[in-house]
Amino acid sequence: MWSLSYLKFIDRGRLLSQGLCSNCITRLRNESFVTQIQSASKPPWRVLFFGSDDFALESLKRLHVSRDDSKAEIIDSLEVVTLSRDTPVRKYAEQNRLPLHQWPDVDFSAQFDVGVVVSFGCLIKENVINKMPHGILNVHPSLLPRWRGPAPVFHTILHGDTVTGVTIMQIRPKRFDVGPILQQELYEIPKNCTADELGATLAVVGSRMLMDTLKHLPERIANRKEQPKEGASFAPKISSRMAWIIWEEHSCDYIDRLFRAIGYRIPLKTMWMGNPIKLLDFVGKCNVLFTASPCLSAVPGSVHYQKESNILLVRCKDGWVGFKAVKFKKRLSASDFFNGYLHQSVLRKSPSSNTCLFQSYKDIRLPGGQDNNMLLQNNTSL
């Protein structure tokens, strides 16, 4: 009997010379036929990887290392699907000469046993999923069904979760993050952890879990579990609108979580004298112990300069928070902002009574104050 793996590598003329008719060759090389017959039942696997950002890159690197490790015997071949824009995954694939496909133009002339999708951002259609005999695995940085969606790490920090984790699941068409769970691992979040720090840690955890799942894939698929209906929540994309602070509504703890969630990418913002101003170098909740000042007030948004620590103090719903710098036309340290705009000599010349006050930009609703059940009901991509 002819070996299909052998047929893959010899040319058409040689097959004809050895007695196979043209129709037989075409039938044997038909993509769907070969995919069904040739699919491996155990490692090493032929993997098609879908990814884009730094979180995805960690899994791609581990797959690549495993492919080149003959002793591991988990990955046989590795090809990459990425987006058209310049992404970390695309750069790595080009630098390491991995076969590269640009979404959505994927060449399936080669056969794959299993797909892996990590932080890809595009729904994969059912006909593509069905080309993989073992489906497509997803590395998701949350304990599903909590925080389905594109920004789970951000919402984990913003909402003050103390425990999170990574889920390895099989994807389903038409809806993000609803497929059966193959493996989950809990991770206790360190105090004062930022979203960037948490994401980097979970990327490493997820890449390790991915390799473990691939090593035991048939067993994991046989024992997969559907996600529970209870406890589902949605993690929408982050945007610059989320950075606006509402001093009357936001607590010190909330502002701290907001900064740790997005502050390293999107500066927190407020309004001052009718103009937007960015708040930089957040130092957290501050104990205010100073004498009376023209700018000292319990009114939310009140600004005071603390000379001893060179910090701008701002009153929020339940206390004071501090910033070491702002960006108003250009970057200004706390002392520069004070000398230029809050010093007594400046205040005497100011016709406005709001010189010492940051105003809230209340036209924007922030996700931290929204009901996640409502988000689930209103989002059709779940």
Predicted pLDDT at 371: 40
Q: What is the pLDDT of residues 98-131, one digit of tens each?
A: 999 999 999 998 899 999 999 998 999 999 999 9
Which range among 84-88, 163-167, 342-346 has the greatest average pLDDT? Answer: 163-167
Residue 243 is encoded by which pair of tokens? 């950075």
Cβ burial, residue 333 (10 Å; 0-12/13-18/19+): middle
Confidence band for 6, pLDDT divided at 50, 70 and 90? very low
* Percentage, residues of the chain above pLDDT 70: 79
Give the residue with greater pLDDT, 96 vs 368.
96
Q: What's residue 348's pLDDT?
A: 54
Interval 53-67 mean pLDDT: 97
Assign 3-class secondary structure to the chain: CCCHHHHCCCCHHHHHHCCCCHHHHHHHHCHHHHHHHHCCCCCCEEEEEEECCHHHHHHHHHHHHHHCCCCCCCEEEEEEEECCCCCHHHHHHHHCCCCEEECCECCCCCCCCEEEEECCCCCCCHHHHCCCCCCEEEEECCCCCCCECCCHHHHHHHCCCCEEEEEEEECECCECCCCCEEEEEEEECCCCCCHHHHHHHHHHHHHHHHHHHHHCHHHHHHCCECCCCCCCCECCCCCHHHHECCCCCCCHHHHHHHHHHHCCCCCEEEEECCEEEEEEEEEEEECCCCCCCCCCCCCCCEEEEECCCCEEEEECCCCEEEEEEEEECEEEEHHHHHHHHHCHHHHCCCCCCCCCEEECCCCCCCHHHCCHHHHHHHCCCC
Q: Which of 158, 360, 159, 191 is nearest to 279 (CA)?
A: 360
- Per residue in 167-206, pLDDT (tens digit) is 999 999 999 999 999 999 999 999 999 999 999 999 999 9
Q: What's the CA gap between 271 and 249, in Å, rounded?
A: 15
Q: What is the mean pLDDT of residues 66-83?
A: 94
pLDDT above 70: residue 55: yes
Which has the higher per-residue pLDDT, 41 or 219?
Answer: 219
Q: What is the pLDDT of residues 292-308, one digit of tens each?
A: 454 556 789 999 999 88
Band (pLDDT 50/70/90 cuts) for residue 10 is: very low
Q: Between these two residues, 302 and 367, which has the higher pLDDT value?
A: 302
Q: What is the pLDDT of residue 379?
A: 34
pLDDT higher than 90, residue 140 = yes
pLDDT at 70: 83
Q: What percent of the chain shows pLDDT beyond 90?
A: 69
Give residue 343's pLDDT. Answer: 74
pLDDT reported for residue 12: 40
pTM tops 0.75 = yes
Would you state the pLDDT for residue 341?
85
